[in-house]
């Protein structure tokens, strides 16, 4: 059957597809952000899996990449949700279909 790394990569690919589908299909801006978070997490799983099964895990490259990615994702979530709240205050909705004017 498949190797362990291939299993992890397939799980990450499936999670990425789920996140992408969620970001494309849902109307609510918060759900789109949740989809983006799922995609970022899938990428982190890839990084960690390659670190674990690749050569030279003691160099810590993949692990560091994943840790920095987690930190950047936290910043992204804070700014993204702040933007959603600001848009909600302005237009009274978080539904992306209804936010169709550039001019407030």
Partner 1 sequence: MSLTFYLLAALTLAGGLAAVLLKHLVHCALAVTVAFAGLALLFLQLDAQFAGFAQILVYIGAVAILIVFAILLTRGSDLPKDGVFSKTWYLGLVIAAGVFAVLGWAVLASVRAIPQQDVVPTVTVHDIGIALVGRYVLPLEIVALLLTAATIGAVIVAMHEKERAK
Residues in binding contact with partner 1, number by CB under 8 A: 75
2 or 101: CB nearest partner 1: 2
Assess 99 for contact with partner 1 (CB under 8 A).
no
Helix (H, G, I), strand (E, B) or coil at 28: strand
Report yes or no: 66 and 48 within 8 Å, Cβ to Cβ: yes
User: What residues form DSSP beta bridges with 32?
Assistant: none
Q: What is the largest CA-CA distance in the chain?
A: 57
Which one of 36, 83, 99, 100 is in contact with partner 1 (CB under 8 A)? Answer: 83
Residue 97, H or E segment? none
Positions in 17-56 near partner 1 (CB under 8 A): 17-28, 30-31, 33-35, 37-38, 41, 44-45, 48-55
Which one of 97, 100, 101, 102 is in contact with partner 1 (CB under 8 A)? Answer: 97
């Amino acid at each position: 059957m498949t190797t362990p790394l291939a299993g992890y990569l397939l799980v990450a690919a499936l999670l990425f597809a789920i996140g992408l589908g969620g970001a494309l299909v849902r109307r609510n801006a918060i759900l789109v952000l949740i989809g983006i978070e799922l995609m970022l997490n899938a990428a982190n799983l890839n990084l960690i899996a390659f670190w674990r099964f690749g050569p030279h895990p003691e160099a810590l490259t993949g692990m560091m990449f994943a840790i920095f990615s987690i930190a950047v994702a936290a910043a992204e979530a804070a700014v993204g949700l702040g933007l959603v709240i600001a848009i909600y205050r302005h237009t009274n909705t978080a539904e992306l279909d209804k936010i169709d004017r550039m001019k407030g």
